[in-house]
Amino acid sequence: MGLEVFDHYECDGQIELFVIQEENMGTDKTIAKRFCEYYKACRDKEERKRREWYALAEMWKKDGYIDDALGDRVEAAQKEYAEAEKETNIFARLALDCILEGQKR
pLDDT for 67 equals 94
Q: What's the predicted TM-score (pTM) here?
A: 0.73
pLDDT for 37 equals 85
Which DSSP letter does residue 87 get?
Answer: H
Written as tens digits, the pLDDT of the chain (105 aa) is 334 445 555 666 666 666 555 555 555 667 777 888 888 899 999 999 999 999 999 999 999 999 999 999 999 999 999 999 999 888 888 877 777 666 665
pLDDT for 36 equals 80
In DSSP notation, 12-37 reads HHHHHHHHHH-GGGTHHHHHHHHHHH
pLDDT for 34 equals 83
Domain ranges of the chain: 8-104
Dihedral (Cα; 16, 28, 90, 44), 10-degree rounding: 40
Terminal Cα distance for the chain, rounded = 22
Query: Residue 22 contacts by C-beta under 8 Å, 6 or more apart in sequence?
Result: 29, 32, 99, 102, 103
